[in-house]
Chain A
Amino acid sequence: MIKRIRIRNFKSLRDVDLELRKINVIVGPNGSGKSNLVDFFIFLKELINPSSFPSDPFQTFGGYEEAVFLRDTSLPISFEICGENFQYSADISGKNGFTINREMLTYKDFLLVRTLNSVEINYVRIRSILRASLQPTMSIFSLSPESTSFYQNPMAKNSLDKVKELFDFMSSFVKSFIPLRVNPERAFTPVHYSYPEKLEVDGYGLARIFDYILARKGLPEQISIFLKENNLSMDRYTSQESGNIVLVTRELIPDLNKTLPLRPRNVPAGIIKMITILFAIYALEPSPSLVIIDEIENSLHLKFIEELASVISYSPPQFIITTHSPMVIDMFNPEDIILFYKEKGETKAERIKDTEKLKEKLIEKGLTLSEWIFYSPNPINP
């Protein structure tokens, strides 16, 4: 679980420092920077696990200029992420082309320091050091045991298992963040069978993951339950002509004892969104440790929002969700809320102070949490 994240100079996030809990509900006006936080995780994912070569995590945003605070390309973008047993930070510049200036990763007894294209891996206990070199656009997460070499302590050979543990951590870390901004039409788009088993931010790739999961181990029970409760069944076929995997949904009409095949465009958007989110949580390998969902309420009825609140509460990953919806806010506790607002062009983020006092106040005044947040002139200080 990520305990803290500090982001500097990414879009409107000039200097945002967040203590994170299991559930984090980001609330704020349009343009306050909520989606920029989601964009940060899209950027981070692309930085540490590039989808193309040469790597350019700023391409999605239209270049470094579009991603840096106030379009000031002289500024570096930097961040620090602290987890339970790791800490990762990076400093990136883009004025003369995208370059990773510095990265640092601590994991258990390991310390990895990268300065421009040189990397040192220190293993504290036996003082062995591995060295490697990297291209300026590639993150330390692109390293593999084969790309490093022992150079100093002959005892280092004994630490091979430990080194493997480090690289296992690094390879799962790059897949541990799932940012989602689901576009139902894209999520149910046919996907070529050669496409990797990965879920894009808009949900594209779902058909490939469905095919992979179904062939390997069957649908996770949580997804089967959801489909059954909504009188749906899902299958897929691979088009012989195009090689595309096509999702097939069927609706059971119990009163008429009929089954109705639904074309992707006839499947309700809320159903597709729920299925996509449930796949992200329960079907991906490795399981994500953090799921980030932008504007979670879009396309969803209150019933599904209630379902999602339960899923978010009890499923293993940590969650960051953004919302404008009073219905969503009222599903969560004041402790879960992070309020975003803008001051002089930069995003400020604060949690509600003294949440116990607020809970008493809400009962006393007969107000819901969302009413307090939206109507109070000073919602942070109850």
Chain B
Amino acid sequence: MSGSFTRQTQSTPKKIGIIAEDTYAVKFLEGIIKRLNDAKIIPQEIKIIRSRSTYGVGNVCSAKTRRIIDAWEDEVDKILLFMDADGMPIEDKIKECKKIIGDSQKVKPIIFEQEIEEWITKSTQQKPSEELKTTERYEKYMLPNYVSRIKPDDPKLMNLRSFKGFLNALNDP
């Protein structure tokens, strides 16, 4: 799987912005992108221009997020907007996002079926953070430490809709 993503040529870095619900998620995502860059798994180098946390699912789809997008739009190639669906239908979440992002081609919503920890447990059957709390005494502040556990070519991870969406957004020209 990783072969198809192996970077062929060094080109101008793609500039992206990250919006997630909290600072732990932001640091985790920054760490994963660094790993993808280091492993040359995505064709174009990714440069994170800005990252912001909005605090809480209630605030991702808000005018504040629109303000952040407006402030970034001219400076970045892509804005990744991460949201939890918490088990709700993903299409409803995308619809909710559209109210804020409109038809902007630069903003790519990435919806976790449950929450970001599904990339660690590679499962969306139950709340992944709860599973981690039980098995590993996980606390939210530890999330950035889990970057090393993410293997981008793991088939189970690649099967997750949210991770596929994430890689597609990074590979998208």
Contact = CB atoms under 8 A, between A and B. Distances in A.
B141 A363 contact: no
B140 interface: yes
B30 to A, nearest CB: 11
Interface in B117-169: 139-142, 144
Contact of B141 (A225, A366, A367): A225
A335 B99 CA distance: 21
Contacts of B67: 368
A330 B55 CA distance: 9
Contact of B53 (A222, A309, A365): A309
Nearest to A360: B99
A362 B141 CA distance: 30
B171 interface: no
A368 B63 contact: yes
A231 interface: no
Interface residues of B, number: 23
Given A333-B56, A363-B100, A310 B23 contact: yes
A313 B21 CA distance: 11
A124 interface: no
Contact of B55 (A221, A222, A306): A306
A363 B55 contact: no
Interface residues of A, number: 26
Contacts of A311: 141
Contacts of B14: none
B55 to A, nearest CB: 4
Interface string A316-352: 0000000000000011111100000000000000000
Given A306-B53, A309-B53, A313-B56, A330 B64 contact: yes
A359 B142 CA distance: 31
B3 interface: no
B33 to A, nearest CB: 17
A11 B61 CA distance: 39
Contacts of A221: 141-142
Counting chain A CB atoms within 10 Å of each CB, the highest count among B54, B64, B66, B144 belongs to B64
B59 interface: yes
B73 to A, nearest CB: 16
Interface string A299-313: 000000011011101
Nearest to A307: B23
A140 interface: no
Contacts, number: 67
A361 to B, nearest CB: 11
Secondary structure at the B interface, as helix, strand, loop or mixed, is helix
Contacts of B141: 221-222, 225, 310-311, 314-315
Interface string B53-95: 1111011011110110000000000000000000000000000
A332 B22 CA distance: 11
Nearest to B66: A366
Given A309-B53, A363-B100, A330 B22 contact: no
A129 to B, nearest CB: 42
A321 B59 CA distance: 18
A37 interface: no
A363 B99 CA distance: 7
Given A306-B53, A368-B67, A334 B58 contact: yes
Contacts of A307: 23
B5 interface: no
A171 to B, nearest CB: 26
Nearest to B96: A363
Given A310-B23, A315-B141, 6 more contacts: A309-B22, A313-B22, A313-B140, A314-B24, A369-B64, A371-B63
11 contacts: A306-B52, A309-B22, A313-B22, A315-B141, A332-B59, A333-B56, A335-B58, A362-B62, A363-B63, A367-B63, A368-B62
